[in-house]
């Protein structure tokens, strides 16, 4: 049985992804801030993880390392939108976005990279909001200047993905690295007007995750997305 690690499985896309992989007979290692989730399965294990806390990241990765865990797919799903209604850059909220969406995610990924299977796949949950070339196209009908801290964090995450992909390719690890835009999804972050259900987003992300696409690319609905 292959293993997928998904951060942020307590709700939204993360929960839908966990359910999709479980339905496809995968072992799922999930994380949540509380260390619990309201869904259970014999092949699902939940760990506490706070991406704002280096100690939490270190403790979690130590548990997996000591258990000899091999990860086939890593999906960095957990993220926050700290400045949802802001039009100006609020530095304190920028720091919050960066701490979770970039720094904590990068820290976790670097620590887990040694546990990846040779034909593994690392996926980062990015966003159209992180695309420089497409910043004027806003699916949620928000102005291009809305939530700047979140957009900066996702653009930075895309660059981290590209540099990681280049490095792992140079090291001949065999690990594919991708970023994905899930669409405007009906979650706590996306809101009730969003047209895409979490289960629909999970289906398309699952298909990407189990495939072997070119490394270092940004994807949406199975197609390359503009940077």
User: pLDDT tens-digit profile of 153-201?
Assistant: 999 999 999 999 999 999 999 999 999 999 888 877 777 787 789 899 9
Chunked mean pLDDT (size 10), the chain, 227 residues:
97 96 98 86 96 98 97 98 94 98 98 96 95 70 82 97 98 97 83 84 97 97 93
CATH topology assigned to domain 3-224: Rossmann fold (3.40.50)
Q: Which of 24, 5, 14 is nearest to 207 (CA)?
A: 24
Predicted pLDDT at 139: 53
- State the residue for tokens 């034909």: 119
C-alpha to C-alpha distance for 134 and 5, rounded to whole angstroms = 30
DSSP 162-187: HHHHHHHHHTT---EEEEE---SB-S
Helices 148-170, 105-112: axis angle to 10 degrees equals 20
C-alpha to C-alpha distance for 14 and 61, rounded to whole angstroms = 19
Please answer whether residues 151 and 191 qualify as being in contact, where contact means their C-beta atoms are separated by less than 8 angstroms.
Answer: no
- State the residue for tokens 């992300």: 205
C-alpha to C-alpha distance for 21 and 18, rounded to whole angstroms = 5
Q: Which of 55, 52, 57, 82 is nearest to 5 (CA)?
A: 57
Residue 104, φ and ψ in degrees, nearest 5: -65, -40
DSSP 82-138: TTTT-SS--HHHHHHHHIIIIIIHHHHHHHHGGGEEEEEEEEEE--GGG-STTTT--
Predicted pLDDT at 215: 98
Predicted pLDDT at 65: 97
This prediction has a pTM of: 0.95
């Amino acid at each position: 049985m292959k293993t997928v690690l998904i951060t942020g499985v307590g709700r939204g896309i993360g929960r839908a992804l966990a359910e999709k992989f479980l339905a496809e007979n995968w072992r799922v290692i999930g994380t949540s801030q509380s260390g619990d989730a309201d869904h259970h399965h014999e092949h699902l294990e939940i760990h506490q993880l706070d991406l704002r806390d280096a100690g939490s990241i270190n403790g979690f990765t130590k548990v997996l390392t000591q258990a000899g865990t091999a990860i086939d797919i890593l999906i960095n799903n957990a993220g926050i939108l700290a400045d949802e209604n802001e039009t100006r850059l609020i530095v304190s909220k920028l720091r919050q976005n960066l701490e979770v969406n970039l720094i904590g995610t990068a820290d976790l990924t670097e620590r887990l990279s040694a546990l990846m299977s040779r034909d593994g796949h690392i996926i980062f949950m990015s966003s159209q909001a992180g695309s420089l070339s497409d910043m004027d196209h806003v699916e949620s009908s928000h102005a291009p200047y809305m939530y700047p801290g979140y957009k900066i964090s996702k653009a930075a995450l895309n660059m981290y993905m590209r540099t990681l992909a280049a490095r792992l390719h140079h090291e001949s690890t065999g690990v594919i690295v991708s970023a994905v835009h899930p669409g405007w999804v009906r979650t706590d972050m996306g809101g009730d007007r969003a047209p895409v259900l979490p289960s629909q987003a999970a289906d398309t992300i699952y298909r990407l995750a189990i495939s072997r696409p070119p490394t270092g690319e940004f994807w949406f609905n199975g197609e390359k997305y503009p940077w």
